[in-house]
């Protein structure tokens, strides 16, 4: 049994530099892997919706036609599951936390007009091809039906 076992440490602490930093004045240091918030490089996104389906808290939404990707940052728990699931790897978790706010709100990212135009063109092409295929199939079916009648 001893007394004053902590006195040495306490005295040492009293005369040494503080281990804490003066936070708002000196900015916090983040590690490379820090999960702060989710970022998207929106032009690489293919609007597949994998992130929406994987999100455990349902904070994401994707609109394929409008080419948007929205996140409610106040609901996001920064688990990184969407980043892992993303097939194009256009999502990333980066340092820096969501700042507090008076209201919850979502942030929407829209693809650049060039990418949107390109996508619309592709969609039109696809639709055209589908329509042609459909027409061809219909013609074939009609021909088959006519043959049967004969």
Whether residue 60 contacts residue 82, with contact meaning beta carbons closer than 8 Å, is answered with: yes
For 60, the 3-state DSSP assignment is strand
* CB nearer to another protein: pick between 28 and 127: 28
Rule CB under 8 A: choose which of 39, 48, 49, 54 binds another protein. Answer: 54
Residues β-bridged to residue 61: 70
Smallest gap from Cβ 27 to another protein, in A, equals 16
Contact between 11 and another protein per CB under 8 A? no
84 belongs to the binding site for another protein (CB under 8 A): yes
Beta bridge partners of 72: 106
3-state secondary structure at position 108: strand
Q: How many residues bind another protein (CB under 8 A)?
A: 24
The yes or no reply on residue 26 touching another protein (CB under 8 A) is no
Cα separation, 123 vs 105, in Å, equals 31
User: By CB under 8 A, is residue 81 in contact with another protein?
Assistant: yes
Is there binding between residue 120 and another protein (CB under 8 A)?
A: no
Assess 70 for contact with another protein (CB under 8 A). no
122-132 burial, b for 16+ CB within 10 Å, e for fewer?
A: eeeeeeeeeee
| Of residues 94 and 116, the one with the C-beta less far from another protein | 94
- The SS3 of residue 45 is coil
**Binding test (CB under 8 A) with another protein, winner from 22, 31, 104, 148:** 31
CA nearest neighbour of 51 among 64, 66, 33, 36 = 64
Residues of this chain that bind another protein (CB under 8 A): 1-3, 5-6, 9-10, 13, 19, 31-35, 54-56, 77-81, 84, 93
């Amino acid at each position: 049994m001893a007394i004053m076992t902590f006195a040495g440490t306490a005295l040492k602490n009293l005369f040494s530099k503080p281990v804490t930093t003066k936070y708002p004045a000196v900015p916090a240091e983040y590690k490379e892997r820090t999960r702060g918030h989710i970022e998207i490089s929106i032009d690489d996104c293919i609007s597949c919706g994998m992130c929406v389906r994987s999100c455990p808290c349902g904070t994401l939404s994707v609109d394929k036609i409008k080419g948007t990707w929205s996140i409610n940052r106040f609901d996001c728990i920064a688990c990184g599951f969407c980043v892992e699931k993303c097939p194009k790897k256009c999502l990333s978790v980066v340092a820096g936390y969501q700042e507090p706010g008076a209201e919850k709100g979502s942030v929407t990212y829209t693809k650049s007009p060039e990418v949107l135009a390109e996508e619309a063109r592709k969609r039109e092409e696809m639709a055209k091809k589908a329509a042609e295929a459909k027409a061809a199939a219909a013609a074939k079916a009609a021909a088959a039906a006519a043959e049967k009648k004969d």
